[in-house]
Amino acid sequence: MTLKFYMTPGSCSTGIHILLEELEVPFEVTILNLPAGDHRQPCYLVINPKGTIPALMLDDGSVLTEFQAIAFWLAKAYPRKGLLPEDPLKAATVMEIMDYVVGTIHGQGYTRIFTTDSYLPSGLPDAERERWLRAIEARGHEIVEQGFKVLEPRLPLDGFIAGPKITMADAALFYVSFWADHVGIHLPERVAAHFQRMRARPLVRQVLMEEGYR
């Protein structure tokens, strides 16, 4: 089985990239340039009508989209790595944290920082535009910072979210922690320590180098 992975370096798809490398499964990468609008091209919309990344095409031609769905499929299709723990409580915790990271910290917080214009009300006078943009971005920072504060006491002092092995949630938390440094958001102590433990992993370093980061 050779999976086809559609991604953008430095995006949420970095988390899926990490999981694929950790699983040591063969996959082909197609890089989409979001600023250039690759995700809106007809050839990609045939693959993913949502026009979003990441997307993962399986060997039967079926396509998975959305971070959580792709991560869940990888965990169930390749269970030997323990991306989703067998213990029901630990598995539920992993799902809960992953969903909170993707849905709230990313979906409600970082989107206001990275795609601020999309939150502007229609018909807004030009004179009000800058004030609204600043307020929207500031609200994004508040959501992200509060999200990290919520997760801080949930994280262990060492290891990873559910024990000694990384999980789907660890990959999700890594990519939003990676973004924090680029937008000037301070990471709480345990979140920062988790980020450094993830970044110290050889395969995570490999992913960052492949995506053009050091």
Question: Could you tell me which CATH class the domain 3-81 is placed in?
Answer: alpha beta
Q: What is the mean pLDDT of the chain?
A: 97
Q: Which of 139, 146, 145, 149 minimizes the C-alpha distance to 113?
A: 139
pLDDT for residue 25: 94
- How far are the Cα atoms of 23, 29, 38 from residue 43, in angstroms, in the given order? 29, 15, 9
**Higher confidence at residue 152 or residue 123?**
152
Q: Which of helix, strand or coil describes residue 41?
A: coil
Helices (H), 9-125: 13-23, 42-47, 67-77, 88-100, 111-114
- Per CATH, which fold does 88-201 belong to? Glutathione S-transferase Yfyf (Class Pi); Chain A, domain 2 (1.20.1050)
> Both tokens of residue 1?
């089985």
**DSSP state at residue 119:** G
Give ranges for CATH 1.20.1050.10 in the chain.
88-201
pLDDT in tens, 69-88: 999 999 999 999 999 999 99
Is 126 a residue whose pLDDT tops 90?
no
- Supply the pTM of this predicted model: 0.95
Q: Residue 169 CB: number of other CB atoms within 10 A?
A: 28
